[in-house]
Structure 1
Amino acid sequence: MTVKKKRPQKSLAAGRPPVLHRPKSISRKSTKALINRVHLLEKRKQQAKSKGDIAEEAAINAEIKALGGLERYQEASLQGQRHDRGGDSSRVLMEWLEPCLSAHELSPDRPHLRMLEVGALSTQNACSKSGYFEIERIDLNSQAGGILQQDFMERPLPRDDSKRFDVISLSLVLNFVPDPRGRGDMLSRTTQFLRAPEQGLGSESLKANFPSLFLVLPAPCVANSRYLDEERLAAIMESLGYSKVASKTTQRLVYYLWKRDPNFTGPGRPFSKKEIRLGPLRNNFAVVLG
């Protein structure tokens, strides 16, 4: 008599379809390396374009594509917004603005302020969840619904205040512009999209914060550049009619809130690419105006 072998008992999970495992996130080291490489390639591409070197420009485009293109760069940027990597930069903006917003008639149920978020990666950041803002989000390569695919430098200029904004967010956007003059042009262009405070928002604390520009940069752009430091950045912004309301520096990032004088007419003084720090380990981040 043959003894039947007892089959091992299967768990309930054995009959289920395989679980879809999410790919592991990009490591912090890989994220930084990818972002830095793309920035360097974009700078070299701009130089090749200015020289009319079509072959070099094509080769650089091919290398950027091999790295995954703008989509892969954005994935790396989104990784940087995770809580364990510094998180959502707009949380800092809300920390600064929440006191003046909550102290007045502005309420999360009745958004009164218009925000333009340039380089938006998500519709679920702190500003979006606050309920205080009517937000328009744009990006060169939209990755989500609710984000318009648009180049800020090609966005049509507003004809009246109904198309202007109370606050513009440039979070880790200016550093992606490949050349110093282009960065100056971007900062200058923000002034054309900001409106004067509405009569209904006439409290002194609101006037002290709006209209404004939220600017976030990698810390080395200001702390370790040959051509830019805190004093020079403040002078550049003042020449555009901005004054600093708040700032914060971490190991990785610098955050600024700049309030613009709606009565400023300009033009301000020009700024060339001038070396202000010496040393072989400095980076070449610069802003040129005029």
Structure 2
Amino acid sequence: MVNKKKRNKLKSLSQGRPPTVKPVKSISSKATRTLIRTHHTLEKERAKALAAGDDAKAAALSREIQLQGGIESYQRASLIGQTNERGGDSSKILMEWLDPMVPALKDLSARGEATRMLEVGALSVTNSCSKSRLFDMERIDLNSQADGITQQDFMERPLPCDRQEQFDIISLSLVLNYVPNPAGRGQMLLRTLKFLRAPLDLEPLRDFLPSVFLVLPAPCVTNSRYMDENKLEAIMESMGFVNVRKKLSNKLVYYLWRLERSTIKSLVTFKKEELRSGKSRNNFAIVLK
């Protein structure tokens, strides 16, 4: 019999991740894709087991994840995927989109008012955003892989006390899909509102900032039973965001969501409702309560 007391949601992102082990020494392109795909599948099954209070199954899945290399092996595969030989890092797309405002960003930096960026789930300190030197970068991840990346759960990060502790851009590149349940994804998106600065009134910065750079596996919006672009747009707009840039590739979808208003008068509820049927669909969803 399932213990009802254990039917509780994950309080933090770290609860959705298993213990880590040492990564393998080398990994091929095909093995990289397989490892990432398998890791996500096992994590989703583990999250379901935890939500159902099935500790035995959750423990078995944790052991299987460890045999696959754990989160460190997953991060290693993700880093390999960010090399130029494998297509480069996703922040290149963000830098292309922000190109029109580079002169304004440089002016701000020269005046000691550098644009602040929070990179959640950071894997490297040498991606395109970091190398541009246009931003005051702050990087966090559940399992830091390098100096310059703070080991921290975004969902447990202390709330900013003032504008100086807030950010102009929050990067959620391949982060939201890692959150193990739909309600947790909604909570993460809502939490970004507390960390973003108020909208700017300076040309051309006001056309792009403050914003959330969101990157997801393409199937999350192209092949999900519960999510498509229209619903994602409705969810983001309900929180005060407008889409200013987007790009769809075979593997990933990239979005830049500008915060148009910093307060929510009445939060709209979005449930996990089927939009498309079919056995080949995945179950990615975002729930707002």
Give secondary structure in 1 for the equivalent of 2:276: coil
In the alignment, which residue of structure 2 is the partner of 1:165?
Answer: 167
Task: Report matched runs for 1:1-290 at 5 Å.
Answer: 25-103=26-104, 106=107, 112-197=114-199, 202-290=201-289
* TM-score (normalizing by structure 1): 0.87
CA spacing shift, 1:111–1:32, aligned 2, 3 Å: farther
Aligned to 1:9: none
Rounded to whole Å, the distance in 1 between the matches of 2:170 and 2:105 is: 21
CA distance in 2, matches of 1:149, 1:105: 29
Task: Give a deviation string over 1:129-188, Cα, whole Å, max 9, x none.
Answer: 111100100001000000000011111111211111000000001111111111111111
Instruction: Give the Å deviation of 1:275.
Output: 0.7
Residue identity opposite 2:190 in structure 1:
S
What displacement does 1:34 show? 1.0
Using structure 2 for the length normalisation, give the TM-score: 0.87
Q: CA deviation at 1:86?
A: 2.0
Counterpart amino acid of residue 272 in structure 2: K
Deviations 1:226-269 (A, max 9, x none): 11111110001011111001001111111000001244333321
For the residue of structure 2 that corresponds to 1:280, the secondary structure is coil
| Matched position secondary structure for 1:236 | helix
Asked if 2 retains the 8 angstrom alpha-carbon contact of 1:241 and 1:266, the reply is no
TM-aligned CA deviation for residue 45 of structure 1: 1.4
1:48 is displaced (CA, Å) by 1.3
Q: Distance in 2 between matches of 1:172 and 1:263?
A: 24
- Letter paired with 1:180: P
Residue type of the alignment partner of 2:174? L
- What percent of counterpart residues are identical? 57
Report the secondary structure of 1:106's partner residue: helix
Provide the rounded CA distance (Å) in 2 between the counterparts of 1:164 and 1:210.
13
Q: Secondary structure at the match of 1:158?
A: coil
Secondary structure of residue in 2 paired with 1:245 = strand
Q: Which runs of 5+ in 2 are unaligned?
A: 1-23
Indicate if the aligned counterparts of 1:111 and 1:133 stay in contact, CA closer than 8 A.
no
The number of aligned residues is 265
Displacement of 1:98 in angstroms is 1.8
Cα offset for 1:103?
Answer: 4.9
* Equivalent position SS for 1:204: coil
CA separation of 1:178/1:104 partners in 2, compared to 1, >3 Å: closer, same or farther? closer
Which residue identity does 1:99 align to in structure 2? P
Deviations 1:195-231 (A, max 9, x none): 1146xxx423201111100000111111111111111
- The Cα of 1:270 is off from its aligned counterpart by 0.8
Q: Does the Cα contact within 8 Å between 1:214 and 1:258 map onto a contact in 2?
A: yes
CA distance in 2, matches of 1:80, 1:105: 30
- Unpaired runs of at least 5, structure 1: 1-22
Select the structure of larger CA radius of gyration.
1
Aligned-residue offset at 1:94: 0.5
